[in-house]
Structure 1
Amino acid sequence: MTTHPETHPELPPLVPAPRHQRWGSGSPFSLDSATPLHAGPGTEGVARWLRATVGAATGLPLDPGASPDAPGISLTVDPDLAPEAYRLLVDGQGGVRVEGGAAAGVFWGAQTLRQLLGPEAFRRAPVVRRDAWAVPEVVVEDAPRFGWRGMMLDVARHFRPKDDVLRQLDLLAAHKLNVFHFHLTDDQGWRVEIKRHPKLTEVGAWRPRTKYGHRASPLWEDRPHGGFYTQDDIREIVAYARERHIRVVPEIDIPGHSQAAIAAYPELGNTDVVDTTELGVWDTWGVNPNVLAPTEAVLRFYEGVFEELLGLFPADTSPFLHIGGDECPKDQWKRSPTAQARIAELGLKDEDELQSWFIRHFDSWLSARGRRLIGWDEILEGGLARPSPTTTLPDVLRTGLSSRAAVSSWRGYAGGIAAARAGHDVVMCPEQQVYLDHRQHGGADEPVPIGYVRTLEDVYRFEPVPPQLTAEEARHVLGAQANVWTEVMETRERVDYQVFPRLVAFSEVAWSELPAAAERDFAAFEARLDGHRSRLDALGVDYRPPGGPHPWQRRPGVLGRPIEGAPPNV
């Protein structure tokens, strides 16, 4: 069992909690200007990261050193460990050894080493010049519970500049999260350059004004909002993430949440029932009725989009492509002669099956190119049937998506349970537990209170694996993800407030081997979090304080949806 440093108040708290840690009573190891950093084969990237972060914060050069046997920091790949597992050994005389099953494991061990050095190691330059930095004697043996430990950031509703995205990747890495779900398109903006379709960003990346608060709010931000990432920006983001052992999962929403694309190219919409030339990039929130037309031309258009994306997000770091697939109203398809003719031509039962046909097309298209489709749990509707007692697994798979397709279960656990039982991989991200845009407290001072009250403790007690699954079915739960929708997060500081410190609790759920939800020691976690806040301070994170928002974090007079237990529908 892990011995937490709450019983050793002088020792730094580790988050997320490692599986095993044994604090020694001997002398700490001192890092100084002569301390070498030895990087074994395959760990060169981790050494670069240590010099760029810990080296910058401490002012220590961390040079390779003349002799590999000299006491210092040594990084080694040990193939007997799992790829993301690590072993960290600190000895007052022998130095610091970080061993991982692969470079990723060594990197997570290096993150733990950074925590051992204290909050000043999280700054970008030294605040106090020291001759030496003490690392306490300890042995840490650790490995993650899940392979998918993710956060989704919506940059479509409120655009975040490239530097903010790179900063977010650093924050994910500091908490041992390894998936960045990049929500790049929606009704309110298209955020990635597609060279063959330049109007997607020339037109689709900008809206003339923005609703301020919930969609029922009378307030508007009456100035243009927008922005996009060039293809070189995307390459830089992906490379930056790769150095931090983070996979990037791009999301392009189809066939709903597509008004920004339709505003740029009106022929993508249902032109036989709507004058799509009158549509602009949407300036408010909610479920938009304007969806893509189910035509061959639209399929070819998005195949072109995805071809460019596959070149920007290489398969080794981005095997998945998220296609959205959620909240697609069928009213236009019901009225559209073109859509109805397509239903008849394909022998489909209704508009739900038409959406399933749309999704299955891109499932097959991506599979043929060695990639995997993932979508929100609505992709189950009209296609992937829920198994009955008399239905065999192959029968289920023949009715819908390929076995490679995966599901992001956001409307509670039901979609994830159905997908896992049908043999599909699942990422658990239920709105009721891990939507971090939802308010953290019921108080009147919460900024733009949206959705359910989900406290820090609620997030800490989130369990990604539903008890209804058998052990075999549970193997399809790839992991968990916290989602951050930015309708009411117009600045980086607002994102910080909503995300932290709840993301710290989430990181422990996704990484650590915790007891059942009701048995988790939240008090012990809070004690470690108290120490971790000083690291967040050093990183410049504008998190929610335990006593409630600072005056500058409040948004008085901005209408939210403070109805406990009601879906937010922002």
Structure 2
Amino acid sequence: MGEFRNRALRLLGAAAALTLLVAPTSAAAQEEQRQEGRAPVTVPALADWSAESGGYLFGRGTRLVADTPAEHRVADTLADDLRAAGHGTVPVVPGRARTGDIVIDVQASRTALGAEGYELRAGRRLSVTGATETGAFYGTRTLLQLLAQGDRIPAGRTVDAPRYRERGVGVCACYVHITLPWLENLVREMAYHKLNQLLVELKVKSDAHPEADTWGYYTKDEIRRLVALGDRYHVEIIPEINSPGHMDPWIENRPDLQLTDSDGNKQPARLDVTQQKAFDYYTGLMDEYAQVFTAKSWHMGADEYMLGSDYSKYPQMLQYARDKYGSSATPQDAYVDFVNRVQAYAASKGRKLRIWNDGLTGANTVPVAAGTTVEHWLNVAVKPSRLIAQGHPLMNAAYSLYLVRGGFHSDTRSLYDQSWDPRGFEGEKLASGKGVTGAKISLWPDNGRGETENEVAVELWPALRHIAQATWGDPHPDATYAEFTARGTAVGHAPGWRDPTRLPVPEGAYTFTTGGASFKADLTRTADGYVSLRTADGCLEISRGRLTLNVPLQPGVEVDRAACDATDTLQRWQPEPTAGGFRLVNAITQMALSVTDDGRTVQYPPDQRTPAVWHLTAD
């Protein structure tokens, strides 16, 4: 743990990259690129570029020309992003284009561009053409990256299309809450780099099953806001409720649904797939998620069901399988039966099922329904080539692409130097990409207090840019990793990206006052952009209550004062501006401080108890 934290703190030396102001590419450098025929700098890199004489100049008279509703939607989003990037207000107009204009063109007849490809032409004016709205949108992402380097774009033409149709990021916000602004930053960054799929394993606060509403969850309105952003930026947000294993966030208060072992012990993380009411409970949650998620896919997890145990401890699994499939059935057939029943239910609702691969060990006699997408992360007996042969679309979610809080971090430099691409699975390298849908990086909170969100971001951005490159085009466009990372520096962050390390209050000594409580503390910025609050009795921290993934996620526990420790993430706080003052939110638990009637200062989710508004008076 100590070694990991030291590494995390060293990474914070790179945290300035979160707020980096990128110097525009000089006109001389652009002319040098043109003379050498080199493509302008983008991420993913442009594989096809035909340089021409002259260039396009973005200026005060620039307009966005769009005629059809689809073109208008792309242009409206681009106008908002240009404003957010500091390029001013650019009007969206119909009709003929003139010098200096940007033309958005959606032509269904341009079928050679595919569902996501586009053509960009730069000259006296600039045009972005797609066969679909999505293709035209991705052309505008390239445009924004070019404008991030200066208002002059070298003349030329590119036709740019992805090699793989699924290009993604997976985030487990399933136990440790991740803030909505952080997820919104991620969606914007994904779209900016032409990634199109965000898997979120998380808990939506349930109206049907309030007994399952343990922290941390998201309200339905929060998810609607996130999904709307994803829809606008062409990022499909796919929900996951992991089952039948890892179900403890949902069934810890439902022992009647928990699998019971041969010694009579209830298993709070394992759903009893032999019970019809367990299936009904799970599909009921699916229906509730359908109220807020619009994706046409559903991820049920299906991983690590017997992690730390084995089927022999649960004889009812074998009995269920034999009763349904005959005497040659195995216990794993009961597990596959549950997967297939969920698949059929999802299909009846117009959704395609996705699962992880590790439960497919080959010990089953009942096959997983063909068409179920398998996300391959672990090397087990059934290899990727066999899964493709069995009719499963296969996504590469390899462990080598993981970023784990408090644990393994993907070695992006090594992957780039190896020219890794989505054919490189754990345990097998495929000769062809046929049957491979794409790849994604995954963020898991195994030690939830091992890093803060801002620390995760430092490690995330290089990995995100690498997966964007490896799934869209040539996995090794530059001779060295340093040259590739320079691309990321050149294009910067997406328009609308919010700097999470920017403090809303200066460092200093303050008196914190709210109704019924007050304390004095030195407010000091931490290396990752939060604050520590040092009082005469020690630094404020949350350390009591039941731990989940090493995080005290129990609402109602009282704030402590402990010896100040710069490496202790539970001593880091976010002062969030609100009317009349600030809320104090713990950087790890993401619960705000409230004050009880008897004067105790405690943490609670903001929708369970109104957070205290703290008035800060400089001492």
Q: Do both share a fold (TM > 0.5)?
A: yes
Give the paired residue count: 462
Structure 2 vs 1, CA of residues 556 and 376 (structure 1 numbering), >3 Å: closer, same or farther? farther
Deviation at 1:296, TM superposition (A): 0.8
Alignment deviations for residues 100-129 of structure 1 (CA, whole Å, 9 cap, x no partner): 111111111100001111258xxxxxxxxx
Match of 2:228 in 1: 239
Match of 1:141 in 2: 159
Instruction: Pick the aligned partner of 1:320 from 286, 292, 297.
Output: 297
One-letter amino acid of the counterpart of residue 188, structure 2: D
Match of 1:480 in 2: 439
Instruction: Pick the aligned partner of 1:198 from 210, 217, 240.
Output: 210
Determine the C-alpha separation between the residues in 2 that align with 1:496 and 1:250. Answer: 22
Does 1:532 find its partner at 2:488? yes
Match of 2:258 in 1: 269
Match of 1:249 in 2: 238
**DSSP-derived class of the 1:51 partner:** helix
Match of 1:444 in 2: none
Does 1:35 find its partner at 2:13? no
Structure 2 vs 1, CA of residues 336 and 66 (structure 1 numbering), >3 Å: closer, same or farther? closer
**DSSP-derived class of the 1:183 partner:** strand
**DSSP-derived class of the 1:192 partner:** coil
Match of 1:329 in 2: 306
Match of 1:465 in 2: 423
Deviation at 1:60, TM superposition (A): 2.2
Match of 1:214 in 2: none
Determine the C-alpha separation between the residues in 2 that align with 1:271 and 1:6. Answer: 71
Determine the C-alpha separation between the residues in 1 that align with 2:379 and 2:30. Answer: 35
- Asked if structure 2 preserves the Cα contact closer than 8 Å seen for 1:145 and 1:510, the reply is yes
Match of 1:118 in 2: 148
Match of 2:522 in 1: none
**DSSP-derived class of the 1:498 partner:** helix
One-letter amino acid of the counterpart of residue 367, structure 1: A
Match of 1:502 in 2: 463
Instruction: Pick the aligned partner of 2:196 from 178, 182, 185.
Output: 178
Structure 2 vs 1, CA of residues 558 and 193 (structure 1 numbering), >3 Å: closer, same or farther? closer
**DSSP-derived class of the 2:178 partner:** coil
- Asked if structure 2 preserves the Cα contact closer than 8 Å seen for 1:145 and 1:511, the reply is yes
- Asked if structure 2 preserves the Cα contact closer than 8 Å seen for 1:416 and 1:428, the reply is no
Structure 2 vs 1, CA of residues 463 and 85 (structure 1 numbering), >3 Å: closer, same or farther? same
Does 1:456 find its partner at 2:413? yes
Structure 2 vs 1, CA of residues 242 and 366 (structure 1 numbering), >3 Å: closer, same or farther? same
Structure 2 vs 1, CA of residues 263 and 468 (structure 1 numbering), >3 Å: closer, same or farther? closer
Alignment deviations for residues 185-207 of structure 1 (CA, whole Å, 9 cap, x no partner): xxxxxx21232112222xx3x2x
- Asked if structure 2 preserves the Cα contact closer than 8 Å seen for 1:158 and 1:487, the reply is no
Structure 2 vs 1, CA of residues 371 and 253 (structure 1 numbering), >3 Å: closer, same or farther? same
Determine the C-alpha separation between the residues in 2 that align with 1:526 and 1:101. Answer: 35
Alignment deviations for residues 34-58 of structure 1 (CA, whole Å, 9 cap, x no partner): 3211123212221121111112323
Match of 2:390 in 1: 422
Determine the C-alpha separation between the residues in 1 that align with 2:412 and 2:484. Answer: 17
Alignment deviations for residues 6-59 of structure 1 (CA, whole Å, 9 cap, x no partner): 973998521101221233341432321x32111232122211211111123234
- Asked if structure 1 preserves the Cα contact closer than 8 Å seen for 2:167 and 2:471, the reply is yes
**Counting strand residues as a fraction of each chain, which structure ranks higher?**
2
Determine the C-alpha separation between the residues in 1 that align with 2:285 and 2:347. Answer: 16
- Asked if structure 2 preserves the Cα contact closer than 8 Å seen for 1:6 and 1:13, the reply is no
Match of 1:156 in 2: 174
Counterparts of residues 431-450 of structure 1 (less than 5 Å): 431=399, 433-437=400-404, 448=406, 450=407
Match of 1:105 in 2: 135
Match of 2:586 in 1: none
Determine the C-alpha separation between the residues in 2 that align with 1:435 and 1:6. Answer: 40
Does 1:73 find its partner at 2:102? yes
Structure 2 vs 1, CA of residues 526 and 363 (structure 1 numbering), >3 Å: closer, same or farther? same
Alignment deviations for residues 432-464 of structure 1 (CA, whole Å, 9 cap, x no partner): x311338xxxxxxxxx4x237624231562221
- Asked if structure 2 preserves the Cα contact closer than 8 Å seen for 1:375 and 1:408, the reply is yes
Q: Give the % identical residues.
A: 23
**Farther-moved stretch of structure 1 (344-353 vs 9-18):** 9-18
One-letter amino acid of the counterpart of residue 473, structure 2: S
Structure 2 vs 1, CA of residues 553 and 488 (structure 1 numbering), >3 Å: closer, same or farther? farther
Match of 1:21 in 2: 49
Structure 2 vs 1, CA of residues 250 and 5 (structure 1 numbering), >3 Å: closer, same or farther? farther
Structure 2: runs of 5+ lacking an equivalent: 1-28, 502-525, 530-564, 570-619
Alignment deviations for residues 455-492 of structure 1 (CA, whole Å, 9 cap, x no partner): 42315622212586575xx4321111111112346432
- Asked if structure 1 preserves the Cα contact closer than 8 Å seen for 2:441 and 2:463, the reply is no
Instruction: Pick the aligned partner of 1:407 from 374, 378, 386.
Output: 374
One-letter amino acid of the counterpart of residue 136, structure 2: V
Determine the C-alpha separation between the residues in 2 that align with 1:113 and 1:197. Answer: 47
Determine the C-alpha separation between the residues in 1 that align with 2:491 and 2:429. Answer: 38
**DSSP-derived class of the 2:391 partner:** coil
Alignment deviations for residues 356-410 of structure 1 (CA, whole Å, 9 cap, x no partner): 111111112222332211100034235777xxxxxxxxxxxxx412222110000
One-letter amino acid of the counterpart of residue 329, structure 1: M
One-letter amino acid of the counterpart of residue 341, structure 2: H
Alignment deviations for residues 518-558 of structure 1 (CA, whole Å, 9 cap, x no partner): xx455355324214225446856789xxxxxxx93699978
Give me the TM-score of the superposition, normalised by structure 2. Answer: 0.68
Determine the C-alpha separation between the residues in 2 that align with 1:535 and 1:66. Answer: 30
Structure 2 vs 1, CA of residues 112 and 453 (structure 1 numbering), >3 Å: closer, same or farther? closer
Deviation at 1:69, TM superposition (A): 2.8
Does 1:8 find its partner at 2:33? yes
Larger Rg: 2
Determine the C-alpha separation between the residues in 1 that align with 2:352 and 2:460. Answer: 28
**DSSP-derived class of the 2:176 partner:** coil
Determine the C-alpha separation between the residues in 1 that align with 2:77 and 2:246. Answer: 38
Does 1:51 find its partner at 2:19? no
Structure 2 vs 1, CA of residues 88 and 525 (structure 1 numbering), >3 Å: closer, same or farther? farther
Instruction: Pick the aligned partner of 2:116 from 84, 87, 102.
Output: 84
Alignment deviations for residues 141-188 of structure 1 (CA, whole Å, 9 cap, x no partner): 10000100011011114211222211110011111100001112xxxx
- Asked if structure 1 preserves the Cα contact closer than 8 Å seen for 2:333 and 2:364, the reply is no
Structure 2 vs 1, CA of residues 468 and 370 (structure 1 numbering), >3 Å: closer, same or farther? same
Give me the TM-score of the superposition, normalised by structure 1. Answer: 0.73
**DSSP-derived class of the 2:102 partner:** strand
